[in-house]
Amino acid sequence: MPSWGRGRNNHHDSGENEKTACEKGKGDNSMIGIVDYGMGNLRSVEKAFQLMGFEALVSDNPEMLNKVSGLVIPGVGAFPDAMTYLKERGFIDPLKAYAASGKPLLGICLGMQVLFEEGFEGDRCEGLGLLKGSIERIPAGVKIPHMGWNQLSILQNSPLLRGTRDGDYVYFVHSYFANGCDAGEMMAVTDYGIMLPAMVQRGNIYGLQFHPEKSSDVGLNMIKNFGELSQC
């Protein structure tokens, strides 16, 4: 298990030459929304935001999206089930509208995967289509699932990675990965036989394949950064 907070390979700080995550100051009525679509880890994500001083609201009502300044799609489970539940609860169009609004949107683990165009966990399943690429099974030759602590290799700066260093450890649990990502949207990768996308970003849309809420100080710092982005 890694030492808390920092990896050993710390020559690259993704915050170098970066301004603070929120240049406009904190809003008075900010709220982080957490989408409840029946796919796990809701309370641990909520508690992580609360620990970092942000108010969070867990809801299965799409109307919640109209009231929050930042939105999180968490999730543990299968891609087709997630898309089915999102459709049944009326989240598809509101999520796309929220992404188009410019407000910060964060997908965690399965929540990151549904941001992509399609998934192949079983039969082909259409995703939200907010990011280019498809969700496919990690190739044979390594232990599946990819579970445990692994290091980040930072490719590009991002407000979400402010304060994160190259080689920092985060906690993964997944059997599928995002393939065919746009190179300009891949912020960090992790080495698991092949380089797997660990963080992606397109404008206001962020995705973390790992669990920041389970990644000690490194992950909590990212939670803090997202909370600050949501207060801009």
For the chain, which residues make up each domain, given as ranges?
32-229
7 has a pLDDT exceeding 70? no
DSSP of 132-171, one letter per residue? EEEEEEPPTTS-SSEEEEEE-EE-S--GGGTT-BTT-EEE
Give me the pLDDT at residue 119, please. Answer: 97
Average pLDDT, the chain: 90
> Given 109, 125, 181, 232, which residue is catalytic?
109
Q: Which of 8-22, 119-133, 146-160, 217-231 has the lowest mean pLDDT?
A: 8-22
pLDDT of residue 20: 43
Identify whether 174 is a catalytic site residue.
no
What is the C-alpha separation between 226 and 105, in angstroms, rounded?
A: 9
* 213 labelled catalytic: yes
Strand partners, 57: 33
With a cut of 80, say whether residue 13 has pLDDT above it. Answer: no
pLDDT tens string 22-47: 544 444 458 999 999 988 779 999 99
Query: Which pLDDT does position 39 carry in this prediction?
Result: 85
Measured between alpha carbons, how far is 121 from 118 in angstroms, rounded to an integer?
Answer: 10
87-104 pLDDT, tens per residue? 999 999 999 999 999 999
The reported pLDDT for the residue numbered 186 is 98
131 SS3 class: strand
Note if 211 is an active site residue.
yes
pLDDT reported for residue 193: 93
Look at the block and give the residue holding tokens 């301004």.
19
Distance CA 116, CA 23 (A): 29
Per-residue confidence (pLDDT) for residue 96, from 0 to 100: 98
Q: What is the largest CA-CA distance in the chain?
A: 51
Give the pLDDT score at 131. Answer: 98
Instruction: For residue 97, give the DSSP letter.
Output: H
Q: What is the mean pLDDT of residues 62-72?
A: 97
Q: Which amino acid makes up residue 133?
A: G
What pLDDT score does 29 carry?
A: 55
Low-confidence winner among 25-29, 46-50, 56-60 (lowest mean pLDDT) = 25-29
Question: Quick one: average pLDDT of 62-71?
Answer: 97
What are the tens digits of pLDDT across the range 192-219? 999 999 999 999 999 999 999 999 999 9
Strands 153-154, 131-137: pairing kind: unpaired
Q: Which of the following is catalytic: 121, 174, 185, 211?
A: 211
Residue with token string 């990896």:
7
User: Which CATH homologous superfamily contains domain 32-229?
Assistant: Class I glutamine amidotransferase (GATase) domain (3.40.50.880)
CB 213 within 8 Å of CB 219? yes
Q: Which residues pair with 33 in a beta bridge?
A: 57, 71
Instruction: Answer for the pair 169, 201: CB distance below 8 angstroms, yes or no.
Output: no
Asked if pLDDT for residue 230 goes beyond 90, the answer is yes
Cα–Cα distance measured from residue 159 to residue 232, given in angstroms and rounded to the nearest whole number: 12
Tens-digit pLDDT profile for residues 100-154: 999 999 999 999 999 999 999 989 999 999 999 999 999 999 999 999 999 999 9
SS3 assignment, position 47: helix
What pLDDT does 19 receive? 43
* Residue of 121, 185, 213, 228 with catalytic role: 213
The enclosing H or E element of 208 equals strand 205-208
| pTM of the predicted model as reported, rounded to 2 decimal places | 0.89
pLDDT for 8 equals: 32
